A = this chain, B = another copy of it.
Amino acid sequence: MVERLLPVKNISLLGSTGSIGVNTLDVVAAHPDRFRMVALAAGRNYRLLAQQAKQFRPEVVAIWDESLKEPLLDALEGLDVEVLCGKEGVIESGRWPSAQQTISAIVGAAGLAPTLAAIRAGKEIGLANKECLVMAGDLFMEEIARAGVTLIPVDSEHSAIFQSLFNGQVGSVQTTLTPSHKKEIRHLTLTASGGPFRGWKRTQLQSVTPAQALAHPNWSMGRKISIDSATMMNKGLEVIEAYYLFGVAADKIQVVVHPESIIHSMASYHDGSVMAQLGAPDMRTPIAVALAWPERVLTEVPPLDLVEIGKLHFFSAPDEQDFPCLSLAFRALAKGGGLPAVLNAANEVAVEAFLEGEISFLAIPCLIEWVMEKFTPRKPSTIEEIMKIDGEARILATSWILQQRKE
């Protein structure tokens, strides 16, 4: 058989200086024959963005913070590259004409507009941003279906489920299961490391500091996601993502605590089979999957060696008593009416306030729950409505913090 020569794929990377962005470039750098960066976009880290531009020679770079355009131009030292700025600039870079795939790795609600623009421009999507699904799940999946583009999750858990469901499937993939496939699925099981405070009780959690919460045992991640992992909100957001991504009922989504983070997630079928994806906890694997699908490219991720690991010593149900964020996420899914977006916005505000030392670790779920209860649910039918809900939830969350400060 003659080996098929695969063409180079042009990539736009939204969020190139974050941890997913840096890992994406690491995978891309190893395969210049397979991937070419045509667009890089970052928020504020213009120095790293300029360095990346010099290495990868994209056609365009974009920086969200307009005030940093001049420093970026200086740092680029006359490199022949188009330079854009502001939200519009980032959106342009995400739907850059020559790009075939856009990796959506901007953290937070800010990732929504550029990702939607990329979908509408017909780009294949590698999705690392959680908020696209958490805030705007229904609308986002409708846009994906309307554009007919392939959507591949980058989050390690969703990548694991994606691979478990669709490994070996060639051609364009719709993550949303067909009715007959859905009938065969008993559960999707997201594994959770349990974060740095697994096994801790409320009394111990009272005095947790941001530094403690940022020290994740298995994964090297961004600050926001590290705190979400410590509160288990990360898993809550992932449950919401899985719900929209794969189109299964919420009661078919389970969470199992598995501290080694070796089994990244699983899909259980009604014939008794459980398909799982395992691997070292290294984001380069799911990134490589998203970039190369349905092929697989070599990465430097160390091969999994179960004999060396020796055992998987612990599987347990999550402690929803002491880590209530997961239950809040299920509650938001059950209530609908914009509640997932409210949960997400309140959580963003809470995490930032915790990192700034303004509120305690245990106050994070209290704040979110309070905002969810204050909010009157209404089903958003446009992105603008979702952004309005997001704004309202942030105002409510901020008011809670101000109120608490007074007390």
The interface of chain A, by Cβ under 8 A from chain B, is: 1, 3-4, 163-170, 178-180, 184, 186-187, 189, 256, 258, 263, 266, 268-280, 282, 284-285, 288-289, 292, 295-299, 301-304, 306-307, 309-317
Contacts and interface: CB of A to CB of B under 8 A. Distances in A.
Contact of A295 (B184, B258, B279): B184
Contacts of A186: 303
Given A184-B295, A256-B306, A313 B313 contact: yes
Contacts of A315: 306-307, 309-311
7 contacts: A164-B275, A165-B168, A258-B306, A271-B285, A271-B296, A272-B285, A311-B311
A229 to B, nearest CB: 20
B169 A303 contact: no
Contact of A277 (B169, B263, B274, B279): B274
A313 B165 CA distance: 27
A187 to B, nearest CB: 8
- As for how many copies of this chain the complex holds, the number is 2
Given A272-B280, A311-B315, A312-B312, 17 more contacts: A1-B178, A3-B180, A4-B180, A163-B275, A167-B168, A184-B296, A268-B303, A270-B296, A271-B288, A271-B301, A272-B302, A272-B304, A275-B277, A275-B278, A306-B315, A311-B313, A313-B313
B301 A179 contact: no
Contacts of A310: 314-316
Given A165-B167, A166-B168, A266 B278 contact: yes
Contacts of A289: 271, 273
Given A179-B3, A180-B295, A315-B307, A279 B272 contact: yes
A189 B301 CA distance: 18
Q: Which 7 A-B pairs have the closest CB atoms?
A: A272-B301, A272-B285, A274-B278, A306-B315, A271-B288, A184-B296, A312-B312
Contacts of A282: 272
Contacts of A307: 256, 315-317
Contact of A299 (B266, B270, B309): B270
B316 A314 contact: no
A299 B272 contact: yes
Contacts of A292: 271
Kindly name the residue among A186, A271, A315 whose own CB sees the greatest number of chain B CB atoms within 10 A: A271
A284 B272 contact: yes
A1 B145 CA distance: 14
A187 B163 CA distance: 17
A295 B270 CA distance: 11
Contacts of A317: 307
A75 to B, nearest CB: 33
Nearest to A304: B274
Nearest to A27: B271
Given A266-B278, A312-B312, A273 B285 contact: yes
